[in-house]
Structure 1
Amino acid sequence: MEGLTAAHSRIAEIQNRILTFASASSTSTSAATSSAWSSAAAAAGLTGTSATAATAAPGSSDLESQVVAAASKYLGVPYAWGGTDPSVGLDCSGLVQRVFADLGIDLPRTSSQQATAGTPVASLDEARPGDLVLFDNSSSRPGIDHVGIYVGDGKMIAAPQAGEKVKIQDVGDPALIRRVLPPTAAAASALPATGTGAGPAGVPYADLFTAAGARHGVDPALLAAVAKVESGFDSSAVSSAGATGLMQFMPATARGLGVDPSDPASSIDGAARYLRQLTDRFGSTDLALAAYNAGPGAVARAGGIPPYAETQSYVRKVTSAAEAYS
């Protein structure tokens, strides 16, 4: 443990020198920073994934870069369930809470509580360094149970599980993304444009979402969120189950609604009509989304959102994206 503490102290010392140099010279590059960090880690005796510090993506704000640097200090710390002390070990949410506390930002203790902090981010494509990426990894007990800190380029810093150490790893497919940093000029410029009540401006097919929403009494932002989660706004998408088009209609459902799934206008109008029908039947947006994903019969049998991990995650993702587009 003394060796690990000394290593982190050495890396922290060089980190401060790098940050000072970066603030004094706009010509510093992320490659040079990464090289310096790697050299420091090697000199400290750390190797492998835990020895390589993350560097924030080009264009990151100062505060975003500070989060990445603060998280990098804990690379190599052992995982410990319930851990909040890096000299002993950290669990995933303990790491997140500690990193932001180092920057004077208070976050709740557990990953499920952290999932309610800040504001939603619609997708990983729109994530910024410093955002929280949250996961539902349990099929038996649906709910957020893991969290990491996004560092850019599809990577995060996280405390994975027992027997591992804090490390940089691929993000994969998070259930939620939350932005807890205050807005900055750099971060604000990367956010999708939003409308002022007229519709989800700044997304593909925004005018079609607005028109269909107005016709059928469905929030255009919700329609855009369904398209984002279902197909990534790809009108030619085909799923392994045979769902097609922008809004991913199964053939039987499309026929019943008189929808041409390959035509974005028809697909969006059909989805708005279908969501209106489902909302009227089940009485809530969440249940309508669950029925859109798992089928009305599954919702009726369950008497609520079915206990399927995929459906639980789907409802959260669409709801979060809709909030971001509103």
Structure 2
Amino acid sequence: MPSLKELRARIQGVKSQRKITSAMKMVAASKLRRFQMRAEASRPYAEAMRRMIAELAATVRSDGSQPLLMRGGPGKTHLLVMLTSDLGLAGGFNANLARLMASLVQDLESEGERVLILPLGRKGGDAMSRAFPDKVIERVAGTAGREVPFATAQSLGGTIETLLADGKVDRVTLVFNRFVNAMTQTPLALPLVPLAVPDNDNRADDAPQYEFEPEEDELLASLLPRNLQVQLYAALLESAAGEQGARMTAMDNATRNAGKAIDTLTQRYNRSRQANITTELIEIISGAEAV
């Protein structure tokens, strides 16, 4: 049985840990509101742009003249772009993505595709380097829980465009956590390249017909890179909000567990102390009687 000194040290250590987890919970909660507002505000714009680009692409002839961001490459090399956090202590935020990535890699390889991985964030880079060291082509630094600049999406989009133009990849899928609420983040795989285009045969006969100026090909060539950056930025905001929500929940649970541990240790301490006092009293009384 631990001594009273050891129990006091344990109680003090757990109390210090509870202070840290409680402070981290408050910091995550303060950041969550800001990131949540930005993620929710980006959704309508990203969805509207994705729908507009898809409708525009549906009017373009399907031949080899289509932009790479629309049709993808001719080969079977699939790039998985993974958005994770730089920091830990966020529950299953990164672990859930790692499981989804493992499942995607297995499914794609079973279909005969070659898989490459581009992780953003230290946690994702570490996990993928351990699980698939031969598939990670580059590790991109995350935002370390700070504000997400649009320049991050622009840089990531430029990397993807370069890989496509060089013929190193043919398809691209974005893997990230979609923010639902503070307790729920849903791992999601969003195809980026080739572009999902609605079937012309399924369009209503009374659907409005548009004339474009400049031509559709020119519009697509200028809008597709922008759409790629917007989709990446929206996903980065979703991931940032999800990270803070997961960390707030994890630190709340840790704080509660620390409180329970303190109560248990305090009870053990009091019982041991009472047992020691009782033993000392018995020894004193026994000694007095012997005299």
Q: Which bracket does the TM-score occupy, shorter chain normalised? A: under 0.3
Q: TM-score w.r.t. structure 1 length?
A: 0.21
Report which of the two has the higher share of helix. Answer: 2
**Of the two structures, which has the highest relative contact order with CA contacts closer than 8 Å and spacing of 6 or more?**
2
Q: TM-score w.r.t. structure 2 length?
A: 0.23
Structure 1 or 2, whichever has the larger Rg, is: 2
